[in-house]
A and B are shown apart, each in its own frame.
Chain A
Amino acid sequence: MTGSIVRGRIDRAGLLVSADAPLQRLQQRAGAGLGKPLALPHLARLAALAQRLQREINRPLVAADDHGDVHALVRILPDAEGASIEIGDWRTRPMVQPQIPPVTEPAAAAPQAWVWESDLQLRMIALHAGAEAAAVPEDWEGRSLSELFELQPDEDGRFPVLQALARQTRFAGQRVRAGGADGKRAMVLAGEPRFDATGGFTGFRGTALPDAEARPAPAALADPAFGSLPLSDPAFGRRIDGALRGPLARIIATAETISGQFDGPIRADYARYAGDIAHAGRHLLGLVDDLADLQNIERPGFQAARDEIDLGDLARRAVGLLGMKAEEKGIRISAPPADEHMPATGEFRRVLQVLLNLLGNAIRYSPEDSQIWIRLDRQGDRATVTVADQGQGISAEQQAVVFEKFERLGRTDSGGSGLGLYIARRLAHAMEGDLTVDSAPGQGARFTLSLPARD
């Protein structure tokens, strides 16, 4: 906390026993005083929570004052006699933030505006088009706001509507792409929260106006393998790596912190949202890894190192890394026993990467409570490792394309980028080996990595 700290203290019963002048004034304006229960409901609730958990709590605080809202950061330190309150970063904001026009006024009256309303789960309950606005999509009723409006992050990578949802405050400047009767258009959302008589959040009411400053949408990729993106530029991989990896890592770490409720309990749905954000972040980070790999292996002259490796050891390492993920789905992995070895030649970390990809796919696409086998073999001068699952299998047509770039066999889930098997096979080739698939629909799939054997 920075700036001057406003301090106070409550006893075990939650009575405010001492307070610096600003906190005391706020307490008095709320109709109480020293020796009385904390009359600022948000602060009282945080104090009670800290006392119940017997641990320090740091949270944003919002309190109503006569002519505005007080926004601050509060730290509550419980002890045996009660709790100490430290309030910092104390700012008073007017109740109506002038930079956000109330939607019932000019913005809503603008003939180009859509006026929308959502429930507390951001499902659309109203959508009207102004006289000169584009027609609204026909199937908007009950759809999620984020489904109807493709949210775009602001310059800082934030989504104003999601921040507003978490804080139940107004928002403006949320850039979106909205599907209308005549295609996608760039719009800007603003909204105000709605509350019922008990103070419960009931949703947002807001406007969507055409985005006058919209940047043109990124052109569709001409070639699924990146089209015009400068993959041939060796700096490209480094650029995306540097530009994305750091922010993504921070997003994932922060989302994991929120999801894990390390700073204290939060509402279950918020924890779940944070879990979703972390999941999406990990997916994006995986894509960054894949793109960097792709850029690397497609570079002319790419060569893998020729390490002396043991496919048995690498298979057991891969199982060790992904065993927990398999357990979550009740999947048993039958790995080669510790005394089984299969000497081969290849780059240690690249072979591990291939095996992690094969095993990861097998876990992802296997049914719950099924089994995955990893088998070692020697065929002439080739050492092989096979990963077999009990998934739905891959048809002959799919086998022909499964190693193509961005091939996801029609899957639309957030599971992967469609680059993993392409990269794995390129790596196998770079190590003078091969990666093949053998499968039939309903029979599971068997991916076999073969490398030069070593005696």
Chain B
Amino acid sequence: MCGMVQSSLFSQLASVNPALSACLRETAEYLAAPGATRLSEQQRALALGVARRLIGDAADLLGGAVDSRALWQDWGTQGIPDAERIAALCFARAEEYRWREESAPDGGEAADAPAEPGPEAPMPDALAADDPLAAIDRAYLALRIADRRRFDALGHPRIALDDLDPDLLRALLLDIAAWQLVRTGKDAAEAALLGEAVRAALARHRPERGIDAAARAYHAALEAAGALPDSAAAAIARHDWPALIALAAAAHNYRYDEMALALITAEPAQLAPLLAPLLRDHAALAPLEGALATLRNRAAASAMPDDYAAALQVRATALGDGTS
């Protein structure tokens, strides 16, 4: 009797209080699998920041038609429509950023100068235009430019719109246009303008400027010069993860962000086959394994054994159903 009253009151409270409902649901999931890997505060903040910048950039793509601040205020509170379709992208970008930050010299992309300047730093000489090394140099420069588009002015991670799948960009732009239309009262003229803005934005979408195109070009230039293995090994030694991800993605014909997540979540034993098309000597993997091993809260498969994870998931679902 007493238990029923309590349960009923919890349910009633939760039914009128979404915050409480969410807390109870999260508590139930946590208690059902206390050892499971969950997002850290840093991971949440990074992924949310990536999503915010993505939505802001996409809104800005529609010209002055959409108030991107108001849009985020709304979606940030109410939730992003169809969040699943951008969740993996945002998580992959956030995790790649975290990996690069944590394995950068002195612990950050904006690291101080090392104590000693490196006179041996590779500084390619000026090269003739038809020199294969010049092609590699140009392709690497283009890759770095494409990579830096994936940061904002303050160095925060973002997803460059040119890197987005065209269908995803279209869906995102249409959602933003729909939000604007609802906000302004579904005016027909406004709808036409927004439709035109979406079409214009899609016409300006240039995947050939994106990181995937740059990755393929860099891979092709190195392959043509027979320099793939050495360059991949050097990228690992230098912790030049964008170059490594780009080469691996191009070698497997994956997207850059997919390959980034594949590497970040890989077990040590999975790295060798993943990078087999690039590397001759598996000893070159050591710095990569080391950098991944020190990445905290990494979503590697071994973080949760398969059968145990499945059991926990069932229990979490069952308990979650009972409290919400």
Q: Name A's B-contacting residues (CB within 8 A).
A: 40-42, 45, 62-65, 69, 95-96, 102-104, 108-109, 113, 115, 117, 119-121, 123, 125-126, 128-130, 141-142, 167-170, 192-202, 205, 267-269, 272
Contact = CB atoms under 8 A, between A and B. Distances in A.
Interface size class of B (residues with CB under 8 A): 35 or more
B105 A197 contact: yes
B118 A195 contact: yes
Nearest to B147: A125
Interface string B128-158: 0000000000000110110111011111000
Contact of A121 (B114, B120, B123, B240): B123
Given A115-B153, A194-B111, A62 B119 contact: no
B116 A41 contact: yes
Given A103-B110, A197-B104, 4 more contacts: A65-B115, A115-B153, A117-B148, A205-B110
A198 B116 contact: no
Contact of A142 (B113, B145, B239): B145
A62 B119 CA distance: 12
Interface of B: 103-105, 109-125, 141-142, 144-145, 147-149, 151-155, 237-240, 287
Contacts, number: 112
Contacts of B117: 42, 62, 167-169, 201
24 contacts: A62-B117, A64-B116, A95-B112, A103-B110, A117-B148, A119-B144, A120-B121, A126-B145, A126-B148, A130-B153, A167-B117, A170-B113, A194-B109, A194-B111, A195-B111, A198-B238, A199-B116, A199-B118, A200-B120, A200-B121, A201-B123, A205-B155, A267-B119, A267-B123
A119 B109 CA distance: 14
Contacts of A199: 105, 114, 116, 118, 121
A197 B153 CA distance: 23
B115 A69 contact: yes
Contact of B141 (A40, A62, A109, A142): A142
Given A115-B154, A121-B123, A197 B113 contact: no
A141 B142 CA distance: 9
Contacts of B151: 126
B124 A121 contact: yes
B238 A200 contact: yes
Contact of B110 (A95, A104, A119, A123): A104
B287 A197 contact: yes
B125 A268 contact: yes
Nearest to B237: A198
Contacts of A120: 121-123
Contacts of A193: 113
Contacts of B141: 119, 123, 125, 142
Q: Closest 5 interchain pairs by CB?
A: A64-B115, A128-B153, A197-B239, A126-B148, A168-B117
Contacts of A198: 118, 237-238
B213 to A, nearest CB: 14
A169 B121 CA distance: 14
B270 to A, nearest CB: 22
A195 B125 contact: no
Contacts of A130: 153
